[in-house]
Amino acid sequence: MTPMAVRTREGSTPDNANEVARSSGPRHDALGLSLDDVKRMYRLMLMTRLVSERILQLNRMGRTPFGAGTDGHEAAQIGAAWCIRPGKDWTVPYYRDMGVSFVLGFTALDEFRAVLGKATDTNSAGRAMLNMFSSPERRVLSRSVLVGTEFPHAVGLALALRNRKEDKCVVFAFGGEASTSPGDFHEAANFASIHKLPVVFVIENNLLAISTRFEKQMAVANVADRAAAYAMPGHIADGMDVLDSYEKTRLAADHARAGKGPALVELKCYRYQPHTSDDDDSRYRTKQEVEEWKARDPVKRGREYLLGAGASEPDLEAIRVELANEIEKAIAQAESEPDPRPEDALTHVYAEGTPRPDGTRA
Ligand SMILES: Cc1ncc(C[n+]2csc(CCOP(=O)(O)OP(=O)(O)O)c2C)c(N)n1
């Protein structure tokens, strides 16, 4: 399977009214982004790449139990998450969404605390699997690792926003392409569309669900084709390009924000690492396939774009050095922090004060 050019879906119902105007200037200008915005996007893409690579290294050294690499998803995640308004919109990220979490303000230290299962982990105090991001202040919904279960929750959240009259707030529900196969996705999309709820389904299509290839996952050519069944727009983005990912997600977000109901954006990307640190990807793909996708590497493309738009090599090198230092400091800090206490294992699992049959309370 070679990297596919991004196709526009035939028969799609693009939200033409919201198409971003083209100009002859730099692409980011036409999207209303400054060069500084693009630099910040690049910084977060590089941070995501470096942290992801470091997690796998630490795992192979026996210092972390588990990892789920983000490499290859950076442009999709940073570009899409750039449309989220912090503190207003809600986000339901999935387990591969470290880049989304960084846009929302999570730090490398937050990530390493979670990966190392430390008591200081802000998501679950070391109880949940890594990347079960959770933050009421940042409006990030804690979710289950069961794929697809996030969508009915996201739609319920959107209904609650409407009932509370939190107008113009949108719920961004993320998932991989395989998460659109369980019934949860279809029930959620149907309900959201009937009730015109402000949900953006952000689907990172990396063509593989562990070892199951896209063609064995669904009969349609694009995940975005599924949107038509629910009368919602389905946009397709080159998920290896941060600006395209931003542009297409913004079309979907503008639609939802305008009260027109849900929309879906499919970000076509590829994961470089095995599915998780426990997976042997040599059993279902060739190194050549991975290399072909790496030729379109999103971080490298972001760097080339910035150099072409006026950023300097020393500027970009300074970003890399600063990130590398921040990451090593975060690892050392997280490793020095306490593990959860065994006696806290059930905290927040059962409601405190639950009545026992004998009338006492737990
Ligand atoms: C309901 C359910 N079935 C199976 C699994 C096991 N599982 C974990 S990840 C995964 C693949 C998901 O693929 P996709 O949604 O495309 O996301 P990706 O991991 O490729 O980013 C599966 C089948 C699960 N977590 N939940």
**Per-residue pLDDT tens digits for 242-263:** 999 999 999 999 999 999 999 9
Query: What mean pLDDT is reported for the chain?
Result: 92
Nearest alpha carbon, ligand 1 atom 17: 176
State residue 24's pLDDT score.
66
Which is it for strands 208-209 and 212-213: parallel, antiparallel or unpaired?
antiparallel
State residue 348's pLDDT score.
73
What is the number of the ligand 1 atom nearest to the C-alpha of 210?
11
Find the DSSP H helices in 10-34. Answer: 27-30
Q: Higher-confidence residue: 359 or 298?
A: 298
pTM for this prediction: 0.92
Distance 179 CA to ligand 1 centre (A): 7
State residue 7's pLDDT score.
39
Ligand 1 touching residue 67 (CB < 6 A): no
> What does the chain come to in residues?
362
Structural domain boundaries, residue 332? 35-344
Nearest alpha carbon, ligand 1 atom 25: 146
Distance 213 CA to ligand 1 centre (A): 12
Contact call for residues 64 and 338 (beta carbons, < 8 A): no
Residue 2 lies in a domain: no
Residue 349 lies in a domain: no
- Among residues of the chain, what percentage have pLDDT more than 70? 92
What is the number of the ligand 1 atom nearest to the C-alpha of 147?
26
**What distance in Å separates the CA atoms of residue 95 and residue 241, rounded to the nearest whole number?**
21
Domain count, the chain: 1
Ligand 1 touching residue 175 (CB < 6 A): yes
Ligand 1 touching residue 301 (CB < 6 A): no
**What distance in Å separates the CA atoms of residue 185 and residue 175, rounded to the nearest whole number?**
10
pLDDT band at 16 (very low <50, low <70, confident <90, very high): very low
State residue 340's pLDDT score.
94
Residue 87 lies in a domain: yes
What is the number of the ligand 1 atom nearest to the C-alpha of 179?
15
State residue 362's pLDDT score.
63
Distance 172 CA to ligand 1 centre (A): 19
pLDDT band at 219 (very low <50, low <70, confident <90, very high): very high
Q: Does residue 15 register a pLDDT over 80?
A: no
Residue 355 lies in a domain: no
pLDDT band at 13 (very low <50, low <70, confident <90, very high): very low
pLDDT tens-digit profile of 63-122? Answer: 999 999 999 999 999 999 999 998 999 999 999 999 999 999 999 999 999 999 999 999
pLDDT tens-digit profile of 307-323? Answer: 999 999 999 999 999 99
Nearest alpha carbon, ligand 1 atom 7: 147
Q: Higher-confidence residue: 25 or 203?
A: 203
Q: Does residue 11 register a pLDDT over 70?
A: no
Domain harbouring 190, CATH code: 3.40.50.970
The residues, ordered by sequence, that sit 6+ positions from 259 with a Cβ below 8 Å of its Cβ are 167, 196, 198
Q: Does residue 358 register a pLDDT over 70?
A: yes
Ligand 1 touching residue 177 (CB < 6 A): yes
Rg (alpha carbons) of the chain, rounded to whole number:
21
Instruction: Describe the crossing of helices 242-257 and 298-308 by its angle, rounded to 10 degrees.
Output: 100
Residue 354 lies in a domain: no
pLDDT band at 61 (very low <50, low <70, confident <90, very high): very high
pLDDT band at 344 (very low <50, low <70, confident <90, very high): confident
Q: Which of 6-10, 163-167, 238-242 has the highest mean pLDDT?
A: 238-242
Distance 205 CA to ligand 1 centre (A): 12
**What distance in Å separates the CA atoms of residue 64 and residue 277, rounded to the nearest whole number?**
10
Nearest alpha carbon, ligand 1 atom 20: 209
What is the number of the ligand 1 atom nearest to the C-alpha of 182?
1
Residue 350 lies in a domain: no
Q: Does residue 6 register a pLDDT over 70?
A: no
Q: Does residue 346 register a pLDDT over 60?
A: yes
Q: Annotated catalytic sites, by residue?
A: 271, 275, 284
Residue 234 lies in a domain: yes
Distance 317 CA to ligand 1 centre (A): 36
Q: Does residue 178 register a pLDDT over 50?
A: yes
State residue 101's pLDDT score.
98
- Among residues of the chain, what percentage have pLDDT more than 90? 84
First to last CA, the chain: 56
Ligand 1 touching residue 274 (CB < 6 A): no
Residue 110 lies in a domain: yes
Distance 177 CA to ligand 1 centre (A): 9
